[in-house]
């Protein structure tokens, strides 16, 4: 949680304690102190008296509503440890499914420990579905140096944890993918150094070239993916869909010819247009074609077709290859995920092509659709918003 947000929560919680808690805990002195207590003792700008919030300026019900509106759980206890307030998020959590009693127990344990410690933090998981991860932070609340209660904040860090896991997996995968060709090049070079027979030298040299090419492809795809993820499209260019397809087809044609895969396009009735980044969109179509060619056998066809309606343009790429098992369909757009590891190594796939496609689609407010049957083939459809050239 950001420090600023923590300070704000503490300030608001202290105000609630001033309005609600102290009345019950120190009833003999409260009547004297409530008239002069500043409900916001830690002002965001202490040098500006004009903006300081006073007792009579901040109604307690407004403060409570503010706490209820936070995307953060808040629990406040009095000095004895009795819960006197919990906001809507915490209430919905601990009053939910039976397993969410874990959240209530974790809160109770931390609030009890806060009575003897100044600060406590704990992370726990609810296994769902869906699985969620929460972080609870507890700390004492003081007024004029006197401890008047305890504050606990509960934050859903599931998305942050998931991103951290993705980053760790990405680093591990990159290390593995780079290590494989580098190690192969080293071993081949060592063998080559001691070899005297010309044919063997030629064969080993060819293997080194292939591994170097594979290494270069991985690095190029990593650079492309990083650029596409980070860059914004400053100005969308009016682009001919058939022009994009023609460029991508010309790039993949040499690879298709080497593998004996036939490239076909359905007859296009008329040209249609989309708006976006030319390089990114060609990259997306090329990667879909490259994926189809790699997973097709000699003599099989890869067909490209285009359909459109008043809102969308669908660019469909259909192959007759090995297909994708249903269990893998949700994961094929992940970085480095491969349905067939052995075939991917043989064809030089990097495992990044479909991840690039997904990010290009997101940048262009489109969708990527996938239909596949194992042993029959797959159809990837790139769906993009249609643009009327006469209105641009």
Query: What DSSP character marks residue 331?
Result: G
pTM for this one? 0.56
Question: How confident is the model over 26-37, as a mean pLDDT?
Answer: 43
Q: What is residue 297's three-state secondary structure? A: coil
Q: Shortest CA distance to 383 belongs to which of 266, 240, 249, 285?
A: 285
Q: How many CB atoms lie within 10 A of CB 334?
A: 18
Dihedral angle of Cα 324, 327, 329, 334, to the nearest 10 degrees: -110
Query: Does position 303 have pLDDT exceeding 70, yes or no?
Result: yes
pLDDT attached to residue 97: 54
Secondary structure (3-state) at 21:
helix
Among the residue ranges 154-163, 166-175, 198-207, the one predicted with the least confidence is: 166-175
| The pLDDT of residue 113 | 65
Mean per-residue pLDDT over the chain, rounded: 76
Write the CATH number of the domain with boundaries 233-392: 3.30.565.10
Binning pLDDT at 50, 70 and 90, where does residue 239 land?
A: very high
pLDDT at 106: 64
Q: How confident is the model at residue 56 (pLDDT cuts 50, 70, 90)?
A: low
Q: Report CA torsion sign: 199, 203, 208, 209.
A: positive
The pLDDT value recorded for residue 86 is: 80
Task: Specify the pLDDT at position 161.
Answer: 85
Residue 147 vs residue 241, higher pLDDT: 241
Give the start-end residues of each E strand in 131-259. 132-143, 146-156, 237-240
E strand segments, the chain: 73-78, 83-86, 120-126, 132-143, 146-156, 237-240, 262-265, 273-276, 301-308, 312-319, 367-373, 377-387
> What pLDDT does 117 receive?
63
> Do residues 325 and 293 touch, judged by C-beta distance below 8 A?
no
Spatial separation of the C-alpha atoms in residues 114 and 305, rounded to whole Å: 65
Q: What residue segments make up the domains of the chain, in order of their start? A: 3-156, 157-230, 233-392
- More confidently predicted of 389 and 293: 293
Q: What is the pLDDT of residue 21?
A: 42
Architecture category of domain 157-230 in CATH: Orthogonal Bundle (1.10)
For 318, residues 6+ apart whose C-beta sits below 8 A from its C-beta are 292, 302, 303, 304, 305, 377, 378, 379
Is the pLDDT confidence value at 42 over 70? no
Residue 33 pLDDT greater than 80, yes or no: no
Q: What distance in Å separates the CA atoms of residue 301 and residue 21, rounded to the nearest whole number?
A: 75
**β-bridge partners, 134:** 124, 156
> Is 151 a residue whose pLDDT tops 80?
yes
Burial class of residue 100 (count of CB atoms within 10 Å of its CB; 0-12, 13-18, 19+): middle
Task: Mention the CATH class of domain 3-156.
Answer: alpha beta
**Does pLDDT of 256 surpass 70?**
yes
At 373-384, the pLDDT tens digits run 888 899 999 999
């Amino acid at each position: 949680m950001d420090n600023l947000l923590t300070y704000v929560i503490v300030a608001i919680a202290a105000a609630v304690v001033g309005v609600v808690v102290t009345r019950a805990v120190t009833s003999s002195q409260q009547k004297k102190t409530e008239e002069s207590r500043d409900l916001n003792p830690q002002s965001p700008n202490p040098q500006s008296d004009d903006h300081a919030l006073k007792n009579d300026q901040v109604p307690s019900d407004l403060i409570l509503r503010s706490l209820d509106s936070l995307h953060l759980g808040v629990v406040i206890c009095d000095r004895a440890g009795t819960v006197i307030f919990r906001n809507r998020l915490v209430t919905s959590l601990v009053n939910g499914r039976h397993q969410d009693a874990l959240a209530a127990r974790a809160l109770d344990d931390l609030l009890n420990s806060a009575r003897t410690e100044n600060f406590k933090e704990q992370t726990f998981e609810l296994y769902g579905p869906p699985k969620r991860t929460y972080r609870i932070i507890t700390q004492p609340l003081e007024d004029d140096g006197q401890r008047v209660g305890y504050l606990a904040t509960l934050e859903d860090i599931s998305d942050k944890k998931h991103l951290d896991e993705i980053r760790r997996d990405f680093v591990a995968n990159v290390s593995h993918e780079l290590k494989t060709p580098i190690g192969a090049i080293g071993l081949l070079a060592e063998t080559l150094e001691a070899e005297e027979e010309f044919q063997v030298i030629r064969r080993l040299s060819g293997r080194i070239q292939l591994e170097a090419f594979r290494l270069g492809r991985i690095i190029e795809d990593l650079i492309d993916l990083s650029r596409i993820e980070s860059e914004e499209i400053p100005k969308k260019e009016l682009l001919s869909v058939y022009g994009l397809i023609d460029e991508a087809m010309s790039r993949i044609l040499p690879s298709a010819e080497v593998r004996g895969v036939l490239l076909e396009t359905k007859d296009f009735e008329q040209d249609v247009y989309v708006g976006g980044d030319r390089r990114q969109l060609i990259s997306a179509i090329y990667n879909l074609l490259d994926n189809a060619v790699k997973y097709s056998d000699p003599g099989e066809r890869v067909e490209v077709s285009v359909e459109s309606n008043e809102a969308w343009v669908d660019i469909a790429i259909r192959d007759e290859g090995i297909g994708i098992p249903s269990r893998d369909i949700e994961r094929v757009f992940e970085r480095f995920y491969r349905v067939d590891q052995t075939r991917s190594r043989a064809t030089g796939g990097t495992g990044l092509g479909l991840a690039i496609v997904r990010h290009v689609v997101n940048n262009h407010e489109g969708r990527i659709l996938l239909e596949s049957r194992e042993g029959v083939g797959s159809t990837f459809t790139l769906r993009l918003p249609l643009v009327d050239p006469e209105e641009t």
